[in-house]
């Protein structure tokens, strides 16, 4: 077991601290990241270093972003001697990743990213990572299983929502495996799941107006798209027809390509 697993654990619930203590799942997550010497890996929320240790053992360099200031000196003491470890006390949902990478490991075009994230921050961090994705090669993220159900929900699934479409616009999403509550201390009530996100190039889905459209369309999930959107977009009926989307459908039934067609139709009707 890792050094962290041997010590008494003081966990802060307010920061979503459930530390991974099962070495098999530590190994599985590290294997999903596939770190090699020469890589730079950004780790969000290193906690007591369960994943950090494995990342550094691969020869990769690690930039760890930890909000809990009490954990920072401990991480520094344990991992700084590798010469490939930097820890930054910050809120990862606001951190400028490009600046962090350039400051600590200049000359790195793109880094990998790994995180075991508390539930309270999942929406904010996913939106932030979508905006920051151009400095990232790929991301391996662990969330509460319900969050992964939501972001991987295909069109027609009732779990599909604003976050699903925003994440699909920014990343290719691959669900990897589930992690049981027993793998953590303290033990959470719920299962977790791990996903791999591969950044997509810049697209219309990055525009703030696209996000506003998706947010308005999912405002009341039981309503049709036309009913959700008619007060915000007076031309919605024409745009739906131009995009080939039936006005009676609900938002959860649309695929990303259909959202992009609808957005393009709305943009061109606004220009006329
Ligand atoms: N990675 C460790 C592990 O797997 O054992 C810890 C995971 S624990 C679920 C989440 C970690 O994220 C905690 O260390 C917590 O302090 C940290 N954290 C919570 N909110 C954060 C934020 N906004 N920015 C950076 N770290 C955060």
pLDDT tens track for 144-191:
999 999 999 999 999 999 999 999 999 999 999 999 999 999 999 999
- What is the whole-number distance in angstroms between the Cα of residue 45 and the centre of ligand 1? 3
In ligand 1, which atom is closest to the CA atom of 49? 2
Would you say residue 37 lies in a domain? yes
Q: What is the pLDDT of residues 72-114, one digit of tens each?
A: 999 999 999 999 999 999 999 999 999 999 999 999 999 999 9
Q: Is residue 110 part of a domain?
A: yes
Helix 50-57, helix 23-33: angle, nearest 10: 50
Q: Is the pLDDT of residue 135 over 50?
A: yes
Mean pLDDT of the chain: 94
Q: What is the mean pLDDT of residues 112-127?
A: 93
Query: Are both 241 and 113 inside the same structural domain?
Result: no
* pLDDT of 266 strictly over 80: yes
Domain boundary among 183, 202, 221: 202
Identify the domain boundary among 185, 202, 219: 202
**207 CA distance to ligand 1 centroid (A)?**
29
Q: Where are the beta strands (DSSP E) in 79-228?
A: 85-89, 111-116, 136-144, 171-179, 184-185, 192-199
Alpha carbons 66 and 43: distance in angstroms, whole number: 9
Please state the atom number of ligand 1 nearest to the C-alpha of residue 65: 25
Tell me how far the alpha carbon of residue 182 lies from the centroid of ligand 1, in angstroms. 18
Shared domain for 47 and 120, answered yes or no, is: yes
Q: Is residue 152 part of a domain?
A: yes
Chain centroid to Cα 35, Å, comes to 19
- Sequential DSSP letters for 229-272: HTTT-TTHHHHHHHHT--TT-BGGG--HHHHHHHHHHHHHHHH-
* pTM, entire model: 0.94
- pLDDT > 80? residue 208: yes
Q: Is residue 7 part of a domain?
A: no
Distance CA 171, CA 4 (A): 33
- Please check whether residues 103 and 130 belong to one and the same domain: yes
pLDDT at 8 over 70: no
Both structure tokens of 221: 């999930």
Give residue 180 CA to ligand 1 midpoint distance, Å: 18
Q: Are residues 209 and 195 in the same domain?
A: no
Q: What is the mean pLDDT of residues 235-260?
A: 97
Q: In this structure, what CATH number is given to the domain that contains residue 33?
A: 3.40.50.150
Residue keyed to tokens 């494995």: 54
Region 247-253: what's the mean pLDDT? 97
5 in any annotated domain: no
Is residue 1 one of the residues assigned to a domain?
no
Co-location of 163 and 217 in the same domain: no
- Regarding whether 236 and 144 lie in a shared domain, the answer is no
Ligand 1, from 47, 122, 141: best to mutate by most atoms within 8 Å of Cβ?
47
* Residues in contact with 137: Cβ distance below 8 Å, sequence separation at least 6, in sequence order: 110, 111, 112, 199
**Structural domain contains residue 36:** yes
User: What pLDDT is stored for residue 3 in this prediction?
Assistant: 42
Q: Which residues of 73-95 are buried (b: 16+ CB within 10 A; e: fewer)?
A: ebbeebbeeeebbbbeeeebbeb
Pair (130, 21) in one structural domain: yes
Do 33 and 167 have their domain in common? Answer: yes
Length of the chain: 272
Nearest CA to ligand 1 atom 12: 45
User: What integer pLDDT is reported at residue 7 of this predicted model?
Assistant: 54
Ligand 1 centroid to residue 118 C-alpha, Å: 7
Return all residues near 72 (Cβ < 8 A) that are at least 6 apart: 66, 87, 89
113 and 51 fall within a common domain: yes
Distance between CA atoms of residues 151 and 174, nearest Å: 10
Query: 188 CA to middle of ligand 1, Å?
Result: 14
> Are residues 173 and 48 part of one domain?
yes
Ligand 1 pocket at CB < 6 A:
15-20, 44-47, 50-51, 65-68, 91-93, 116, 118, 121
Does residue 21 belong to any structural domain of this protein? yes
Helices 162-170 and 122-132: crossing angle in degrees, nearest 10, is 30
- Protein residue closest via CA to atom 20 of ligand 1: 15
> Could you tell me if 72 and 106 lie in one domain?
yes
The whole-number pLDDT of residue 13 equals 85
162: domain range? 13-202
Q: Domain boundary residue among 158, 173, 202?
A: 202
Nearest to 96 by CA among 151, 134, 123: 134
- CATH number of the domain bearing residue 220: 1.10.8.100
Total number of domains in the chain: 2
Do 21 and 145 reside in the same domain of the chain?
yes
Residues 207, 225 contacting (CB under 8 angstroms): no
């Amino acid at each position: 077991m890792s050094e962290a697993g041997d010590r008494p654990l003081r966990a802060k619930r307010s920061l979503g601290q459930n530390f991974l203590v099962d070495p098999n799942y530590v190994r599985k997550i590290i294997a999903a990241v596939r770190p090699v010497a020469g890589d730079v890996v950004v780790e969000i929320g290193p906690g007591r270093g369960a994943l950090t240790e494995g990342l550094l053992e691969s020869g990769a360099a690690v930039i760890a972003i930890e909000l809990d200031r009490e954990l920072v000196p401990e991480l520094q003491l344990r991992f700084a001697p590798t010469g490939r470890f930097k820890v930054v006390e910050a809120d990862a949902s606001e951190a400028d990743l490009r600046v962090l990478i350039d400051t600590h490991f200049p000359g790195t075009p793109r880094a990998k990213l790994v995180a075991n994230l508390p539930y309270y921050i999942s929406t904010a961090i996913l939106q932030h990572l979508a905006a920051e994705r151009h400095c990232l090669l790929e991301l391996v993220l662990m969330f509460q299983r319900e969050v992964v159900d939501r972001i991987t929900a295909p069109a027609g699934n009732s779990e599909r929502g604003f976050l699903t479409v925003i994440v699909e616009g920014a990343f290719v999403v691959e669900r990897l495996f589930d992690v049981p509550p027993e793998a953590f201390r303290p033990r959470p009530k719920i299962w977790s799941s791990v996903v791999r996100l591969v950044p997509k190039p810049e697209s219309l889905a990055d525009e703030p107006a696209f996000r506003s459209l998706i947010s308005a369309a999912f405002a009341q999930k039981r309503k049709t798209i036309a009913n959700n959107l008619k007060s915000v977009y007076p031309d919605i009926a024409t745009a739906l027809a131009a995009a080939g989307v039936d006005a009676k459908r609900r938002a959860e039934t649309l695929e990303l390509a259909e959202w992009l067609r609808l957005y393009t139709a709305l943009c061109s009707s606004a220009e006329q």
